[in-house]
Amino acid sequence: MEAGQDSKKKDILSNIVTKRYAEKHDSRTCHIHDLEYYNTTYNCLGISVKDMVGDRKRSFGNMMNALHRAIVELTNMQSGGIGFIHFDSDVAAYIEEENDEEIIEIFHEFFLDLNMSTRKGCENPYVTFNFGLATSKKGRRASFLMLEAYERGDGRGNPFIFPNMVFKIKTGINQEEDTENHDLYMKALDVTAKRMVPTYFNCDSKANALFPADTIGIMGCRSRVVTNVNGREGSLNRGNVACVTLNLVQMAYQSEGDLDRFYIILDENLADARGVLLHRFQTLCEQGIFEEYYGKGYYLGAESCDAREMLKNGTLSIGFIGLWDAMAVLKGRTIDSASIIKEYYEEAIAIIRHMREYTDKITEEDHLNFSLLATAAEGVTGSFAQYDSAHQGKDFEVCKKGYYTNSFHVPVNMDVSYQEKIALEGEFHSLCNGGSITYVEFCEMPGRNVEAVQEIIEYACKMDCNYIGINFPMDHCTDCGYMGRIVGKCPCCQSAAIRRLRRVSGYLAEEDKFTAGKRKELKDRRFHMAANSMGVGRYDG
Ligand SMILES: [Zn+2]
Which of 58-72, 117-131, 241-255, 267-281 is predicted with the least confidence, judged by mean pLDDT? 117-131
541 CA to middle of ligand 1, Å?
19
540 CA to middle of ligand 1, Å?
21
pLDDT number for residue 404: 92
Burial class (CB within 10 angstroms; exposed 0-12, middle 13-18, buried 19+) of 7: exposed
Q: Three-state SS for 294? A: helix
Residue 321 CB neighbour total at 10 angstroms:
27
461 CA to middle of ligand 1, Å?
38
505 CA to middle of ligand 1, Å?
28
pLDDT number for residue 510: 84
Task: With CA atoms as reference, report the closest residue to 285 among 81, 44, 39.
Answer: 39
494 CA to middle of ligand 1, Å?
6
Q: Three-state SS for 474? A: strand
158 CA to middle of ligand 1, Å?
12
Q: How far apart are CA 167 and CA 363, in angstroms?
A: 30
Q: Are 388 and 247 in contact (CB under 8 A)?
A: yes
486 CA to middle of ligand 1, Å?
10
Q: How far apart are CA 39 and CA 54, in angstroms?
A: 30
DSSP string, 44-76: -EEE-HHHHH-S----HHHHHHHHHHHHHHHHT
472 CA to middle of ligand 1, Å?
19
47 CA to middle of ligand 1, Å?
40
pLDDT band at 470 (very low <50, low <70, confident <90, very high): very high
- Which residues neighbour 24 within 8 Å (Cβ) at sequence distance 6 or greater? 30, 269, 272, 276
pLDDT number for residue 399: 82
534 CA to middle of ligand 1, Å?
29
481 CA to middle of ligand 1, Å?
6
Q: 467 phi and psi, to 5 degrees?
A: -150, 130
404 CA to middle of ligand 1, Å?
36
Q: How far apart are CA 448 and CA 207, in angstroms?
A: 33
484 CA to middle of ligand 1, Å?
11
Give 65 or 508, the one with higher predicted confidence.
65
Residue type, 314: G
483 CA to middle of ligand 1, Å?
9
pLDDT at residue 263 tops 50: yes
473 CA to middle of ligand 1, Å?
16
Give the global pTM: 0.94
pLDDT at residue 317 tops 80: yes
439 CA to middle of ligand 1, Å?
29
450-461 pLDDT per residue, tens: 999 999 999 999
448 CA to middle of ligand 1, Å?
21
- Which residues neighbour 319 within 8 Å (Cβ) at sequence distance 6 or greater? 33, 243, 244, 245, 246, 372, 373, 374, 375, 377, 407, 434
Q: Are 368 and 42 in contact (CB under 8 A)?
A: no
Mean pLDDT of the chain: 92
pLDDT band at 531 (very low <50, low <70, confident <90, very high): low
Q: How far apart are CA 70 and CA 202, in angstroms?
A: 29
126 CA to middle of ligand 1, Å?
29
Give 119 or 245, the one with higher predicted confidence.
245
519 CA to middle of ligand 1, Å?
25
Q: Are 239 and 369 in contact (CB under 8 A)?
A: no
Q: How far apart are CA 222 and CA 141, in angstroms?
A: 26
485 CA to middle of ligand 1, Å?
12
480 CA to middle of ligand 1, Å?
4
515 CA to middle of ligand 1, Å?
27
Q: Are 225 and 13 in contact (CB under 8 A)?
A: no
495 CA to middle of ligand 1, Å?
5
532 CA to middle of ligand 1, Å?
24
Q: Are 474 and 196 in contact (CB under 8 A)?
A: yes
444 CA to middle of ligand 1, Å?
18
17-39 pLDDT per residue, tens: 999 999 999 999 999 999 999 99
Give 255 or 392, the one with higher predicted confidence.
255
140-180 pLDDT per residue, tens: 999 999 999 999 998 877 889 899 999 999 999 999 999 99
502 CA to middle of ligand 1, Å?
19
492 CA to middle of ligand 1, Å?
5
Burial class (CB within 10 angstroms; exposed 0-12, middle 13-18, buried 19+) of 331: middle
- Residue spans of the domains in the chain: they are 40-224
512 CA to middle of ligand 1, Å?
19
pLDDT at residue 483 tops 70: yes
488 CA to middle of ligand 1, Å?
11
152 CA to middle of ligand 1, Å?
17
pLDDT number for residue 517: 79
pLDDT band at 123 (very low <50, low <70, confident <90, very high): low
Return the H-helix or E-strand segment holding 267.
helix 259-287
Q: 472 phi and psi, to 5 degrees?
A: -155, 160
476 CA to middle of ligand 1, Å?
8
477 CA to middle of ligand 1, Å?
5
331 CA to middle of ligand 1, Å?
49
177-220 pLDDT per residue, tens: 999 999 999 999 999 999 999 999 999 999 999 999 999 999 97
pLDDT number for residue 2: 60
Alpha helices in 288-404 (DSSP H): 291-294, 307-311, 323-331, 338-366, 380-391, 397-400
pLDDT band at 222 (very low <50, low <70, confident <90, very high): confident
479 CA to middle of ligand 1, Å?
5
